[in-house]
Structure 1
Amino acid sequence: MRHAATLLIVAAVLFTAAFACNMSTANLSSLKTGKDPDAKNETSKYAAGDTIYAVAEVSNNPGKVKVKMYIQVENMAGVKPGTVIDNSVVNLDINGDAVAKYKYETVSDTAGGTFNIVAEMYNENGEKKDSKAQTVTVAPGSSSSPDED
């Protein structure tokens, strides 16, 4: 009987260890950018006036998470690197495994530059658990002259 109890305890410990190794935590498995809402045709180059779409895939998510997406300046004339673009921040509630979709319309007279599309994932306690970034380039636009008729 004592041998069986020891064997049962060893089996329980091994089962628990194996189960724990197979449990993955929620994560952002990918971040893609494109010119279509699903980012099926991936690109990182945009013209002034283009819409930037980004899709972040949340995987191994047993519950609820928040995905925060935004655009951060990497290299833009007159703007400090790391600056978050005004009105670019979006917070999305995600249940289970799903995709977080992002859309940002550039303006036709943008100065252009290099930017990071950032996706950050937070658990229900507000703790940051994962993040991904994708670099994109936006070509400068044309600004209208004040003396045009």
Structure 2
Amino acid sequence: MSTIKQALAAAEHTCRERGVRFTPVRRRVLAILLERPQPLTAYQILDHLRTAQPRAQPPTVYRALDFLLHQGLVHRIESTNSYLACNHGHDHTGERAAHWPQFLLCDECGDAREVPLAAELQHLLAQLAQGHGFHIGKRPLELHGLCRQCRSAA
């Protein structure tokens, strides 16, 4: 079974366990994101969705993305207002303590890598913030730079 099929089957299983509907549109939006290494905007997703559903409208995509975000199956990259499938299969609901991702975003080619934030770094960041009377939420960190291929091409 391909990685994408496995991810879709896992998402379907998760939704079934949670008692929520993994509709064909939600499944297709997740598949579109799983098929691409770069984050996509909602309108890019809509363009891909329209190949199979020519009458699809923006609210359809936004509703599917809201659902997928809530279920922890996708991430929103705030700096580019785009979306990326979660590639770690963690439960993002509830406390979110186990999974605090960071994204390595290539400013040249648009490649994006989700990598888990090491527990030691999570602890150090929390300590640093606490020293200033600040509590940080477990929002993803976005680190911009150049990937290995773009660096070597420069």
Q: TM-score range by the shorter chain?
A: under 0.3
- Which structure: greater helix fraction? 2
TM-score (norm 1): 0.22
Whose RCO is larger (CA < 8 A, sep 6+)? 1
- Judging by fraction of residues, say which structure has more strand: 1
Compare CA radii of gyration and give the structure with the larger one.
Answer: 1
TM-score by length of 2: 0.22
